[in-house]
Chain A
Amino acid sequence: MPTNTDDVTVLDCSECGAIVEVCSFCERPDCPVKVCYRCLRIDVGQTVDHPHDHGG
């Protein structure tokens, strides 16, 4: 465990706080609005609700 916190860079999702290596949208490690894969998929609606109860 590091003792010098100055050496530790905390990379976290700007929406949920999850630790991420690079931004899932722009792939930059220094992105100021870094977002994790899960939050991004939800935000852009990459998955949609089933349009019918039977899932058709």
Chain B
Amino acid sequence: VDGILDWMAAGLPTEGSLSGHRVAEVVRRDVPTCRLDEPMRAVRERVREAGWNVCVVVNQEGIVMGLLREEELGRGDEEPVEAVMRPGPSTFRPHVAIGRMAHHMLDHGLPNSPITTSDGRLVGILLRDDAVRVAHGDQRHPGRDEAEA
């Protein structure tokens, strides 16, 4: 099964019961990242300059350690990221159906959700607006199409 999950995680086409829009198609792979020991002020400035309001905390291997959403990004100056972040956020796999994620993100009021491989390596971030748009039939793929524009 790992083989087909890896295939789906790469955004490659599937058939039959495994077909349908998947998180891998719309995940934003250019989400800003930071390390545990970086000072909050520097991270906040970098993230905002890049036009984002979320940053994923990763270690040297790219494993997700935490998350800085809007609320956390507004806190701290010289404090390290580790002291401010949401530790161990819920993560989801790229093969998950986009419709189910959109449904849950709306129900729970969650603006974004980190996407990882099964061993915890960051793939990117799923934005609620992207998930809802694709789930409701708009076929554009935000991250990819904007990168190609």
Interface residues of A (CB under 8 A from B): 23-28, 31, 33, 35, 40, 43-46, 48-51, 55-56
Residue B93 contacts which of A24, A26, A46, A55 (CB distance < 8 angstroms)?
Answer: A46
Give the interface residue-count category, chain B.
Answer: 20 to 34
Known: A44-B96, A45-B100. A51 touches B1 (CB 8 A): yes
For A50, the chain B residues whose CB sits under 8 A away are 1
**Chain A nearest Cβ from B128, distance in angstroms:** 11
Q: Is the CB of B18 within 8 A of A51?
A: yes
**29 A-B pairs, CB-CB below 8 angstroms?**
A23-B108, A25-B90, A26-B90, A26-B108, A26-B110, A27-B86, A27-B90, A31-B108, A33-B108, A40-B104, A43-B100, A43-B104, A44-B97, A44-B104, A45-B95, A45-B96, A45-B100, A46-B92, A46-B93, A48-B5, A48-B18, A48-B95, A50-B1, A51-B1, A51-B4, A51-B16, A51-B17, A51-B18, A55-B1
Smallest CB-CB separation from A49: which chain B residue? B17
Give which listed residue, A25, A46, A48, contacts B108 with CB less than 8 A: A25
The docked-state distance in angstroms from the alpha carbon of A33 to that of B95 is 24
Closest chain A CB from B106 CB (angstroms): 10
